[in-house]
Amino acid sequence: MLKLRDGIIELYKKVATSIPPDVENSLKNALTLESPDSRAFNSLSIILENITKARKTNKPVCQDTGVPVFMIKLPNGISQKDINEIVREATAYATVKVPLRANAVDIMEDKNSGNNTGEGFPVIYYEESAGSSLVIDLMLKGAGCENAGLTYKLPDLDLKAERDLDGVRKCIIDSVHKAQGKACPPYILGVGIGATKDQVAVLAKKQLFKKITETNPVPQLRELEERLFQEINRLGIGPIGLGGASTLLGVRIAANHRHPASFFVDISFSCWATRRGRLIWS
């Protein structure tokens, strides 16, 4: 299993030091929407320059290398316990090798573990694999954008949001308006709709692992994503909250069934430095 450990270390390095092509291309497209003499244009230019330098020098794109969040598809016959141990070992090595900033703090003692491992850290979710390969998706989730996330319970009288997709739309716009440029826009948003608070939180986070260019298979949700892209970019918050036409790079929405008496919506924010990658181990 040493080769798998080393593969995860390399995955950490790739994710920390390079932005995925779909995100980088979206940032380049956003640049074309801003006036060349604007603060928005200048901010996006610096962001794109930083992405290029990080990739060339193998340095982290952002000083906050975040919370490692894994989505792992596990074939039959492989133990979650074994994979947990390998991921934790790889995380400790990657903290030194990449390097990653040490971000795991013990709640009781308020002490940093120093190697990004601890109780529930890194965060790991498992699904059963449809094939024989182990598929490991990793996202480095910065604290600033994680802090911006919100959960809503519909109906919401203050927003005049009912238990329907228009109510969901109002929640998403409200969450961006409340962020007010915090969490380093332009954002990517993951949205989960469903029956319980914990369910929608995980569902929303899963959407951030998808490419911006992916097409939502549900027509109603696809239409809502397209509408929100236009409406949120008209808010004028802009890159880093300095104003402009580029507040949102993309939004991905997924919905589960709900209880007749419950309708939860979770919005998970990702900053422009959306760092994710995949390792397929056969």
Tally of CA atoms within 13 A in the half-sphere of 266 that contains its CB: 22
For 41: left if phi > 0, alpha if psi spans -120 to 50, otherwise beta; the answer is alpha
CATH of the domain at 130: 3.30.360
Reduce the secondary structure of 109-132 to three states and give it as a string.
Answer: CCCECCCCCECCECEEEEEECCCC
Q: Where are the beta strands (DSSP E) in 149-235?
A: 150-153, 187-194
Q: Which of 6, 3, 47, 97 is nearest to 249 (CA)?
A: 47
What is residue 215's predicted lDDT score, i.e. its pLDDT? 97
Q: Which residue has the tokens 């080769």?
A: 3
Considering 141, 166, 188, which residue would you say is the last residue of a domain?
141
For residue 29, tell me if it sits in a domain: no
pLDDT (tens digit per residue) in 171-184 = 999 999 999 999 99
Task: Based on the fold, state whether residues 73 and 123 are members of the same structural domain.
Answer: yes
Is 125 a domain residue?
yes
- Domain count across the chain: 2
Domain coverage including residue 120: 2-14+61-141
Q: Which of 95, 115, 141 is the last residue of a domain?
A: 141
Concatenating the DSSP letter of every residue in 4-46 gives HHHHHHHHHHHHHH---HHHHHHHHHHHTTS-TTSHHHHHHHH
Q: Are 265 and 151 in contact (CB under 8 A)?
A: yes
Task: Assess whether 86 and 191 both reside in one domain.
Answer: no
User: 56-91 pLDDT, tens per residue?
Assistant: 999 999 999 999 999 999 998 899 999 999 999 999
Interatomic CA distance for residues 169 and 176, integer angstroms:
11
Task: Say how far apart CA 47 and CA 84 lie, in whole Å.
Answer: 34
Q: Is the pLDDT of residue 36 over 80?
A: yes
**Do 252 and 124 reside in the same domain of the chain?**
no
What is the mean predicted confidence (pLDDT) over 86-99? 98
Is 0.85 surpassed by the pTM of this model?
Answer: yes
Measured torsion, CA atoms of residues 180, 209, 19, 231, in degrees rounded to the nearest 10 = -40
Give pLDDT, residue 35: 96
β partners of residue 150: 267
Angle between helices 21-31 and 39-57 (to 10 degrees): 150
